[in-house]
Amino acid sequence: MEKHLKSEQYYIDRYDRMTVDLMRIKEKFFLDCDTKITGNKNEDEFKRATNGLFKDLGLYFETGERYLEKSETIRQWMDEDKKRDELMESAKTPVGIFCLACNKEMSVETKTLHIGNLNTEDKVLFIFRCGSCRKGRGFFHTGEEFKATPEHCDKCGKVLDKTHKREEEKITTYYKCPEHGVIKTYEYDMESKPEEVDSNYETDRDRFCISDEAGQEYLSFKIRTDQLQKVLRKIEDREANQELYDKVASIKKLSIVELENLLVSKLEEQGYIKLELKTPEQGRHVIAPFNIRDAKSGREEYDSKKQLEKAIKKTLETTNWRLMSSGVSYRLGMLFGELRGYEKEDDLAKLIAKK
Ligand SMILES: [Zn+2]
Ligand SMILES: [Zn+2]
């Protein structure tokens, strides 16, 4: 029985083949990005100097990344194939399989591996053959029977009868409907065609599948750039935060008495008098309810509320106090609301960032 697990070189060759195919596509893409030479001397000088640069840089990164994934990918492939061999060896042959046509006990003809996909596991398939009538049945090592899904006629939906005919190296499969006759055929040529010679393969393999030495160099280059990026990001953060904390420092932190005095003078200018600031609730933030009277005769509820809100917001803009988002309410010339005081530096920073 042929083993799935091969020598390490087999997997190296497979990985390199994929790398060469992939890098040829990438190289073509990078070269397509080059600008066309136009005949204009000044322009072309620059273009000649920069053309190919993108390709060289791009391939440097791409081949480097391919190198970094190489040993892990090969290890995974070998692991998978080793597991397949183990499964083939350990799979128990189902026993007591009888022919559905003549009821004789059947014997195993072949044992093959059914390779699973993303959703299904690998399974071992045993094909049993009846010694007297030659009919077959298939069973997986898990015990479930293998059912070939029959093909149906497009015209009438009846199950198609499948027959094979071999002429030298060519096998033709005929699909026949009991009503409509042969409705499709499929040809398979067993003759092995000589592979096309890829004369640039060795050169490209040397270019794209970089040596351990070059790979390690790429790795340390990558680590250095990552570290450099981290340092740059830190500097940027500090600069961005510096601006924020400068702003925080410029905020006037007012005590409750200072707040009261400021509001009384500013709001009186707008016709609001007798401010009463109640003792604040103590929590993470300080919340102080207040009431004030509108002394301007003829000012209706809507205007009274809006003008007070506007005046408070403007007065407190550069301080650590804010009018609560619920705004103010109004009853018979009395206005009610709440003010929130911020103490901690990071709360103040958030307050500024929100703006
Ligand atoms: Zn039979
Ligand atoms: Zn039909």
pLDDT of residue 354: 66
Residue 188 lies in a domain: no
pLDDT for 119-133, tens place per residue? Answer: 888 999 999 999 999
User: What is the distance in A from the centroid of ligand 1 to the CA of 105?
Assistant: 8
pLDDT of residue 235: 79
Domain boundary among 198, 222, 250: 250
Residue 24 lies in a domain: no
Indicate whether 228 and 315 sit together in one domain.
no
Residue 276 lies in a domain: yes
Pair of tokens at residue 122: 């690998």
Indicate whether 224 and 262 sit together in one domain.
no
Q: What percent of the chain has pLDDT over 90?
A: 51
Which ligand neighbours the alpha carbon of 137 most closely?
A: 1
Please give the residue that has the higher pLDDT: either 195 or 323: 323
Which of 77-86, 223-232, 326-335, 336-345 has the highest average model confidence (pLDDT)?
A: 77-86
Given a cut of 80, whether residue 41 has pLDDT beyond it is no
Domain boundary among 250, 269, 301: 250
pLDDT of residue 241: 76
Provide the H-helix boundaries in 116-211: 201-208
pLDDT of residue 62: 95
Please give the residue that has the higher pLDDT: either 31 or 205: 205
pLDDT of residue 355: 59
39 pLDDT band, cuts 50/70/90, is confident
Pair of tokens at residue 151: 């093909």
343 pLDDT band, cuts 50/70/90, is confident
User: What is the distance in A from the centroid of ligand 2 to the CA of 176?
Assistant: 8
147 pLDDT band, cuts 50/70/90, is confident
Indicate whether 238 and 304 sit together in one domain.
no
Residue 340 lies in a domain: yes
Residue 281 lies in a domain: yes
User: What is the distance in A from the centroid of ligand 2 to the CA of 145?
Assistant: 28
User: What is the distance in A from the centroid of ligand 1 to the CA of 107?
Assistant: 11
Domain boundary among 200, 227, 250: 250
pLDDT for 148-157, tens place per residue? Answer: 778 899 889 8
Indicate whether 325 and 242 sit together in one domain.
no
User: What is the distance in A from the centroid of ligand 2 to the CA of 159?
Assistant: 8
Given a cut of 80, whether residue 195 has pLDDT beyond it is no
pLDDT of residue 167: 85
Residue 18 lies in a domain: no
Indicate whether 297 and 349 sit together in one domain.
yes
Indicate whether 238 and 279 sit together in one domain.
no
Indicate whether 242 and 271 sit together in one domain.
no
Arithmetic mean of pLDDT, 270-277: 91
Given a cut of 80, whether residue 197 has pLDDT beyond it is yes
Arithmetic mean of pLDDT, 306-325: 90
Q: Which residues contact 91 (CB under 8 A, 6 or more apart)?
A: 111, 124, 141
If DSSP states are collapsed to H, E and C, what string results for the chain?
CCCCCCCHHHHHHHHHHHHHHHHHHHHHHHHHCCCCCCCCHHHHHHHHHHCCHHHHHHHHHHHHHHHHHHHHHHHHHHHHHHHHHHHHHHCCCCCCCECCCCCCECEEEEEEEECCCCCCCCEEEEEEECCCCCCEEEEECCCCEECCCCCECCCCCCECEEEEEEECCEEEEEEEECCCEEEEEEEEECCCCCCCCCCCHHHHHHHHCCCHHHHHHHHHHHHHHHHHHHHHHHHHHHHHHHHHHHHHHHCECCCHHHHHHHHHHHHHHCCEEEEEECCCEECCCEEEEEEEEECCCCCCHHHHHHHHHHHHHHHHCCECEEECCCCCEEECCEEEEEEEECCCHHHHHHHHHHC
Please give the residue that has the higher pLDDT: either 222 or 283: 222
Residue 296 lies in a domain: yes
Provide the H-helix boundaries in 270-324: 301-316
Please give the residue that has the higher pLDDT: either 233 or 329: 329
* CATH number, position 289: 3.30.980
Strand partners, 111: 126
Number of separate domains in the chain:
2
Given a cut of 70, whether residue 1 has pLDDT beyond it is no
Arithmetic mean of pLDDT, 50-78: 92
34 pLDDT band, cuts 50/70/90, is confident
Indicate whether 228 and 269 sit together in one domain.
no
User: What is the distance in A from the centroid of ligand 1 to the CA of 144?
Assistant: 20
Arithmetic mean of pLDDT, 162-166: 86
Dist. CA 330–CA 207, nearest whole Å: 80
Dist. CA 268–CA 290, nearest whole Å: 15
ipTM: 0.67
Which ligand neighbours the alpha carbon of 132 most closely?
A: 1
Residue 240 lies in a domain: yes
Of the chain, the end-to-end C-alpha distance in Å amounts to 74
Dist. CA 273–CA 262, nearest whole Å: 13
- Domain residues for the domain of 323 are 256-354
